[in-house]
Structure 1
Amino acid sequence: MSQPNNQSYRDQRKPRRDFDSRAAYLEHELSIMSPKRWRLNLPFRDYSFELEDLVPALAATIGKIVMVAAVVAAFAGPLGLSDAFVVENVRFEMLIAAVLFVILFSGLINPTANLAGTHGPMIPLIPLIVASGGHPLALGLLVGLFGLLLSVSKGGSKLMALTSDGVRGGLLIYLGAVGLFSQIKALTAWANGLDMGYVAFAVILSTIIMYALLARLEMRWLSIPLGSGIAFVIAIALGAPFEFVTEPGMPHLSPSYWWGENTGWQMGWPELHHFISVAPFAVLAVAMWSPDFMGHRVFQELNYPKKATKVLMNVDDTMGIASVRQAVGSVLGGGNLASSWGTYMIPAAIAKRPIPAGAILTGIMCIIAALWGYPMDLAVWAPVLRVALIVGVFMPLLEAGMQMTRNTTSSQSAGIVVFASAFVNPVFGWSMTMLLDNLGLIGDKERGKTLRRTDRWVIPGVTFVILLAIMAAVGMLPGIPALITAE
């Protein structure tokens, strides 16, 4: 029976012994929460900490180290910056994220906004951004501006509402499958590079068995720490080389250091031409947010009880916080590109936990990792990293997509999304299939008839045309030379 609306979270809490199972207890916790938007939410008064919160926090910390390192390294390579620069900037970025945003916003002020993470799909475009005369600060400021405009106009939630289950499911299947294959390939290549291919085989085989058993026991929320731990033990036991090299320390905190002419990025402050050159990439980065954010909220919808609507991720608020985090982080000197934090949200949803408690633990772990140094080496070691991403992100994406495409109409839309995404990229696949689906040309033909003209073809059509033009400009369409090229 549902609780009276005037009762507080603390009044409605019940001890674990009152429930038949741990899952029932966690679902009750989700159902009685009523987070206050843009107001102070306190631990133990508005939410509690559970053992399950440690899992997404650990997964998020590992993911943060890895993804920010990938982004900063993608900038540093073409700019001729050293590995030491990359490590220091990553540590600085983790402190920015943890202290200013993860704990403050997602943990205390707006618990329905997901943590602001890293924009992985933009990584392959970074060398082109640099070659086109781009500046990391100019890019960060424009991404923050465009993202804030999308958040204020509630464009993110509108696009999510116009995307059917079939289109969402197909997008998740594509992202999950491609990510899964890439991680297996990367782990195998790492092992073969050491002439120890058997290490990759043993790690992957043990991961498959572990994941299957956890799925059988309905304990998949344990897959990241358990899988990473098993991978570490097996790889070490088989003789794979590993050592700690990042020592404890504090990174530079001054923006003047990071944006100096001869220090930090060694680029100085951006000028007008820098903003012009990165504008198309900034628009594309923000356009990529909608399918990314949508995929993360789907995991909550699939794993939370139906009545726990008050704790579902608010897409527009998440975009707003990611935008502010992007602009502030860039001004301070960080090289991260912000997005919704998938390595946190996906395991948190599977573990049936709300955002705030795990967010605070994530912030604490990120601070510890940044200052201590040694955990960064462990998180980026290939067996630990690849297994964490496989079981914590890509396998759940694949499974969620399959759950959403069980009937003929949804599977038809899903198939077109996969086809179009493989042809160009997921942004192209999502935007084109959303248009075709809403027009009733594929998928549920009756659904299109219930939509207003604006929702049926104007918004999807304009979205597709704008994204198509931007992708043509930066050379993302197969066989079509980029309209914007490096001089």
Structure 2
Amino acid sequence: MNTTPYDEAQAKKRPGEKAVTDSYENLHKPSSEFESRDEYLEHELQIMQPKRWRPNLPFRDYRFEFEDTIPAMAGTIGKVVMVGAIAATFAGQLGLSDAFILENVRYELLIVSFFIILFSGFILPTANLAGTHGPLIPLIPIVVAAGGHPMAFGLLIGAFGLILAFSKGGSLLARLTSKGVCGGLLLYLGFIGTISQVKKLFAWAEEIQMTHIAFIVILATILLYALLEHFKKRWLAVPLSCLLGGLTAFALGAPFEFKTAPGLPNMNPMYWWGENTGWMLGLPTLESFIVVLPFAILAVAMWSPDFLGHQVFQKISYPQRTEKVQMNIDDTMLSASVRQTFGSLLGGSNFTSSWGTYIVPAAIAKRPIPAGAILTALFCIVAGLWGYPMDLAIWQPVLCIALIVGVFIPLLEAGMEMTRVGKTTQSAAIVVFASTLVNPAFGWSLTMLLDNLGLIGCKERSSELTPMSRWIIPLIMFVVLTGVMALVGLLPGIPALMPSFRQ
């Protein structure tokens, strides 16, 4: 039953009449008319007609399916964990209490829910949700030590993001990144992420003096993942693996209790930016903006490889004729920038990027962005107000397993898929090599330059590029990124060029 939306519209046409408008409402058919669930989900992707800057309404422009709950659940877990990590890092550097961390995470869950519904669920249905910029977390102590202000940092990220979005710089950089470079980037991120989560789970098990629990939980997850792959039900990996990991750890004696009671955070921005309340920092000064300027440039420059990886994962997982519903990089940058700007003004601690813990499971489940986005917003509101789900989401057997099977293993699979054919292995290997030397942003920019020059990878592709695409833009990106990293001391073995960032 491999019909196209055009074929279905024509089939509804009566003799002498014009073809029925190929809207989603007219082309939708119940799942009972398809031979399999996969066929129904693929058909839904092919018939959607997302509208930019116009209302996209449930049931008129898209539908809710059971599969939407999986990425929504995974995204909520990821959001609680990542925002908690950023808030905790700031709190540790500024001497703030655990109560600040809890209240600010709740505040951020409510803030992000509004922007999810507004953008991804309503007016920009191909914009991925605005998540959390994980690679910035290790840099927060350096920023605070140099006198950086979280509001100034967030506002500059939002401003630079808007510039990149309106100039369509994000999609341009994505087009200049070959499959080999992108595939290598996915392999690196997937491998490093998997290793880090396994280490964290074992570290947690050692703390409670039950190291065997980590081994049993991971082994059980591997077997479950293999069975789901065999029965082609991999989209169920996140909820079932979290359930298995949590129940197994608890049954083996791992301690767990609910501590976070229901409540509502302080919704007054003046409270958060007061001198004796919230952050206890007051409002930023001009010097605060100057201090965080290099980090803001670096943060936005790192968006492109991050966004590209998420978009590519959709392309690999979705069927043909679904270009209209795939993530738009420039729209995602726009929504992330607006969300970052208002979030920082309101007093939130989050630094945003494309929401990987949502989009990767959504791509596996073959679901478009809007419906799952609405559910994610609702889940975030419930988690923030109810409180108890936050305790479960950050429990290590649930958290680590969710990130492994929901994000990092799929990234590994996508990276291997992209480097199977063509002259891609050279570029992929160099990306991994260079990323290991410094970080993924350095690896991506350097390898994109070498690949587009034709020194590695496909020589035919390089010869077809214009001078602007072959070396001018890639060289500018590499010089800017490397220069910023040199200023703030991110190049191994080289002291920071700016004295205020030297440790």
TM-score with structure 1 setting the length: 0.99
Equivalent residues of 2:183, 2:419 under 8 A apart: yes
Question: Is residue 309 from structure 1 mapped to residue 329 from structure 2 by the alignment?
Answer: no
Distance (Å, rounded) in 2 between the aligned partners of 1:148 and 1:73:
28
- Residue among 385, 388, 403 paired with 1:389: 403
Equivalent residue number for residue 80 of structure 1: 95
For 1:73, the aligned partner's letter is A
1:151 paired residue among 143, 165, 172: 165
1:322 is matched with 336
Show the counterpart of 1:290. Answer: 304
1:435 aligns with 2:437: no
For the 8 Å contact 2:116–2:377, the answer to whether it is kept is yes
Q: Quote how far apart the aligned CAs of 1:3 are.
A: 2.3
2:38 aligned partner, one-letter code:
A
Match status 1:60 vs 2:62? no
**2:477 paired with 1:477:** no
Task: Report the AA paired with residue 84 of structure 2.
Answer: A
Distance 1:30 1:315 in 2: 18
User: In the alignment, is residue 127 of structure 1 matched against residue 129 of structure 2?
Assistant: no
C-alpha separation between the residues in 1 aligned to 2:294 and 2:234?
Answer: 40
Query: Residue 2 of structure 1: CA displacement?
Result: 2.0
Matched residue, 2:478: 464
**Residue in 2 aligned with 1:299?**
313
Structure 1 runs, 4 residues or longer, greater than 3 Å off: none
Tell me the residue number matched to 2:13.
Answer: none
In the alignment, what sits opposite 2:429?
415
Q: CA RMSD in A?
A: 0.9
Match of residue 359 from structure 2: 345
The match for 2:249 is 235
Deviations along 1:428-483, whole A, 9 cap, x unmatched?
00000000000000000111110000000000000000000000011110110012
Q: Tell me how far apart the structure 2 counterparts of residues 214 and 104 of structure 1 sit (CA, whole Å).
A: 34
Letter of the structure 2 residue corresponding to residue 316 of structure 1: D
Partners of 2:5 and 2:46 within 8 A in 1: no
1:376 counterpart = 2:383: no
Instruction: String of CA shifts for 1:284-317, please: whole Å, max 9, x gaps.
Output: 0000100000011111101111101110101001
1:31-57 Cα shifts (integer Å, max 9, x gaps): 000100111000000000000000000
In structure 2, relative to structure 1, the CA distance for the partners of 1:45 and 1:408 (3 Å cut) is: closer
In 2, the alpha carbon distance for the partners of 1:291 and 1:217 equals 32
Matching residue of 2:459: 445
Q: Is the 8 A contact 2:489 2:501 kept in 1?
A: no
Determine if the alignment matches structure 1 residue 71 to structure 2 residue 73.
no
The within-5 A match list for 1:33-182 is 33-99=48-114, 101-182=115-196
d(CA) in 1 for partners of 2:145 and 2:23? 55
Distance 1:88 1:368 in 2: 14
Alignment-mate amino acid for residue 478 of structure 1: P
Tell me what 2:345 maps to.
331
Are residue 3 (structure 1) and residue 17 (structure 2) matched? no
| TM-score, reference length from structure 2 | 0.96
Q: Is the 8 A contact 1:472 1:483 kept in 2?
A: yes
Q: 2-side partners of 1:344 and 1:379: how far apart?
A: 15
- Look up the equivalent residue of 1:307 and give its one-letter code: R
- Match for residue 31 of structure 2 among 10, 16, 25: 16
Task: Kindly report which structure 2 residues correspond to 1:144-223, keeping only aligned pairs within 5 A, or say none.
Answer: 144-223=158-237
| Equivalent in the alignment of 2:43 | 28
The one-letter amino acid of 2:80's match is I
Please report how far the alpha carbon of residue 387 of structure 1 lies from its aligned counterpart in structure 2 after TM superposition. Answer: 0.2
Q: Give me the whole-angstrom Cα distance separating, in 2, the residues matched to 1:14 and 1:419.
A: 49
In 2, distance between residues paired with 1:312 and 1:330? Answer: 28
Is the 1:133–1:486 Cα contact (8 Å) retained in structure 2? no
> What are the superposed Cα offsets for residues 328-360 of structure 1, whole Å, 9 maximum, x if unpaired?
000000010000000000000000000000000
Displacement of 1:408: 5.5
Looking at structure 1, the residues matched to 99 and 230 of structure 2 have their Cα atoms a distance apart, in angstroms, of 44
Quick one: distance in 2 between partners of 1:473 and 1:216?
50
How far apart, CA to CA, are the structure 2 residues paired with 1:114 and 1:412? 30
| 2:15 corresponding residue in structure 1 | none
Matched-pair contact (CA < 8 Å) for 1:76–1:82: yes
**Matches of 2:190 and 2:354 in 1, distance apart?**
16
| Residues in 1 aligned to 2:192 and 2:255: alpha-carbon distance in whole angstroms | 28
User: Displacement, 1:407?
Assistant: 3.0
Q: Aligned with 1:339: secondary structure?
A: coil
For 1:168 and 1:456, the matched residues in 2 are separated by: 16
- What is the identity, as a one-letter code, of the residue corresponding to 1:135? H
Cα deviation digits, residues 111-169 of structure 1 (max 9, x gap): 10000000001111111011111000000000000000000000000000000000000
Whole-Å Cα distance in 2 between the matches of residues 408 and 21 of structure 1? 33
Between the two proteins, the alignment pairs up a number of residues equal to 486
Is the 2:149–2:292 contact (alpha carbons within 8 Å) kept by the matching residues of 1?
yes
- How far the C-alpha of 1:486 sits from its partner, in A, is 4.6
* Whole-Å separation in 2 of the counterparts to 1:445 and 1:329: 45
Once the two structures are superposed, residues 361-415 of structure 1 have per-residue CA deviations (whole angstroms, 9 ceiling, x without a partner) of 0000000000000000000000000000000000000010000001351011000
Other structure's SS at 2:308 match: helix
Deviation digits for residues 254-310 of structure 1, max 9, x if unmatched?
A: 110000000000000000000000000000000010000001111110111110111
Partners in 1 of 2:358 and 2:214 — Cα distance? 26
For residues 348 and 32 of structure 2, the distance between their equivalents in structure 1, rounded to whole angstroms, comes to: 47
Q: What is the CA–CA distance in structure 2 between the aligned matches of 1:172 and 1:300, rounded to whole Å?
A: 13
Query: 1:104: how far off?
Result: 1.4
1:74 and 1:15 mapped to 2: Cα distance? 48
Point out where structure 2 has 5 or more consecutive residues left out of the alignment. 10-20
CA distance in 1, matches of 2:501, 2:39: 57
Displacement after TM superposition at 1:20 (Å): 1.4
Letter in 2 for 1:2: T
1:229 Cα deviation (Å)? 0.4
